[in-house]
Amino acid sequence: MIKSYLINLDKDLDRLAFFQSNFDHLGIAFERIPAVDGRLFSGEDYQHFMSQRPRNYNRTNTKTWLRGQMGCFLSHYNAWKKIAEGEHTFAAIFEDDIHIADDLHHILQDDRWIPGNVDIIRLETSTNRVRLSAHPVLNHQRRSLYGVKSTSWCAGAYIINRKTAQQLIALPTHYHEPADVMLYHFSESVIAPKLNILQFNPALCTQDKHLADESNSVHFSSNIEFDTAAKTNNLKHGLEKLSPGKVATAIYKSLCGYRRIGFQ
């Protein structure tokens, strides 16, 4: 069985019960990793964290860290460290608001089906369209895996190679980015473009926020808070998507193989 880790805040007992119920139903064991709550850091510690991680790799303008992003990153970092120091060739990491497909337990039965040169296997959906390889590079348990050729988002569920976890831990702190940026952003991460990343399509997992309009969602609120400026930027970005240029870009990307990752 592929070792599974759950990232969960001590206070989030409802999320833990939700995750426990889903995994117990499929007979999947997991080890809980206490999540880091960035909101509990002192102002001095928060500023120190950001000073070591300026988020200016390959950019002229720097970005800041939300406290929620800081806590999320440190939680995943602790999971990477545990995997890097462990004995399992591959391990799976989950956040606690994940909805899962019934055949996930078949995927996690063992890791013999995973080629040794694979760094990360994305188990979940992405909020953006992702460019995937034209054809599956791997098939397992009636599921297809495609090569990821562009930036993707979200780090709620993935399988990671122990060697990859070791590489992440070894990176100097000034290369650190929010978890999904560090793993999957092809221009803002020093390591993502070098990784061999596969994507299940359709995905086996999706975060609760992506099912907000569906009856099987339990409507968990985000643990990564957004300040007023971030909300304004998100609204501006949403309006920009409606511009003729953005529409043309979306059509072009679709023709180039960018796809929505569904959950099934």
The domain spanning residue 115 has which CATH number? 3.90.550
Task: For residue 8, give the H/E element and its range.
Answer: strand 3-8
Range of the domain at 72: 3-259
Do the domain assignments include residue 67? Answer: yes
**264 lies in some domain:** no
Residue with more model confidence, 177 or 219: 177
Q: Residue 94: is its pLDDT beyond 60? A: yes
Q: Name the helix (H) or strand (E) containing 91.
A: strand 90-95
User: 172 with 198: CB under 8 angstroms?
Assistant: no
Asked whether residue 130 is assigned to any structural domain, the reply reads: yes
3-class DSSP assignment, residue 2:
coil
**249 — pLDDT class (breaks 50, 70, 90):** low
Using pLDDT thresholds of 50, 70 and 90, give the confidence band for residue 62: confident
Residues contacting residue 201 through CB under 8 Å, at least 6 positions apart: 132, 144, 145, 146, 259, 261, 262
Q: For 6-58, what is each residue's pLDDT tens digit?
A: 999 999 999 999 999 999 999 999 999 999 999 999 999 999 999 999 998 88
* Number of Cβ atoms within 10 Å of the Cβ of 77: 17
Average pLDDT, the chain: 90
pLDDT over threshold 80, residue 242: no
Residue 179 included in any domain: yes
Residue 28 lies in a domain: yes
Residue with tokens 């399992």, as numbered in its chain: 88
- Whether residue 201 is contained in a domain is answered as yes
How many separate domains does the chain show? Answer: 1
